[in-house]
Amino acid sequence: MGRKKAKFTDVLVVARMSLSAWADSPRGAFVLLAMAMMCYGALRELRLAMLPMGYGITWAEAPLFAFHRQSLLAGTLFLLLMTDLPKKGSAQNYQLIRTSRARWLSGQVTYCLLMVAVFVAVMIALSLLFAIPILQAGNTWSDTAREQLGYALPSEAIFPLATREAMPPARALLINIALSGAYWLGLALLILFSGLIGQSLFGLVPAMVIQLLPWMVNTFVQMEPIYWFPGSYATVFLPQYAQFPGRELVAIAVFLSVDLLLVGLMFWRLKRADLSFVSNQGGSMI
């Protein structure tokens, strides 16, 4: 039991070291400010539309709206946080000396998981903060309630009817968190894997392309990015999820399978890697 506790402690120390480096960096402060502006912009739109009419939204709908409306920017900001995986420096060399490679890599993967959790939690907290003037109690869709009372037409709804009929807002939020989290984790693990083979741009560039490809394509060609882009499956409002119940769970399983595949490839590659860390200003690994 003591050895298992020591192994787990080593993993947490590696993850905490990377998390502390992120929290102390100017980039972390910039991303936090950008997230605040992003959530404020999304919820300000709702406040301006609802306050004059006396309308409101439930606690689950506020972050749902922010996740959906700002999905492109949110994913891009998350990638900005994870561009330098694994973090280089003398501290990493020290951790490799005092622990095994497997525990060190487990700490890096744990760090990616923690960053996803922190990013999601901050988005939810900021969304609720900026939605306070229009928040109301309940776990029913506010659009449905307004339509039933005759206060609004179906064409004036905020959220798609198919999704509202398929699940309550709290469940929709949980599913959206799982979809987005598994998708963002995969992008972070791709960057981490590329760092392990000494080619950081090899992971960052594809990750940015995957995230921004829908926007780039729709800039020149008007098309529905439903079936072509992985990020399109990372939202609970995909029409397929409402039409075919259970598809969202399949999508989560697929995202997690890709994540596990990347983790497995990293552990396989780690056995043959000659790890060498230098400062953040230059150099590479292996």
| pLDDT, position 222 | 63
Question: How far is 49 from 38, CA to CA, in rounded Å?
Answer: 18
Question: How far is 251 from 185, CA to CA, in rounded Å?
Answer: 14
37 contacts 77 by C-beta, under 8 angstroms: no
For the chain, the helix, strand and coil percentages under 3-state DSSP, each to the nearest 5 = 75, 0, 25
| pLDDT, position 129 | 95
Enumerate the domain spans of the chain.
Answer: 2-270
Q: Are strands 57-58 and 135-136 parallel, antiparallel or unpaired?
A: parallel
Amino acid at 23: A
Q: Quote the DSSP letter at residue 199.
A: -
Question: How far is 219 from 216, CA to CA, in rounded Å?
Answer: 5
| Helix (H), strand (E) counts: the chain | 12, 2
Question: How far is 180 from 164, CA to CA, in rounded Å?
Answer: 19
Question: How far is 255 from 188, CA to CA, in rounded Å?
Answer: 12
- In which residue ranges of the chain is pLDDT below 50? 279-286
In terms of Cβ atoms closer than 10 Å to its own Cβ (0-12, 13-18, 19+), residue 41 is: middle
| pLDDT, position 128 | 95
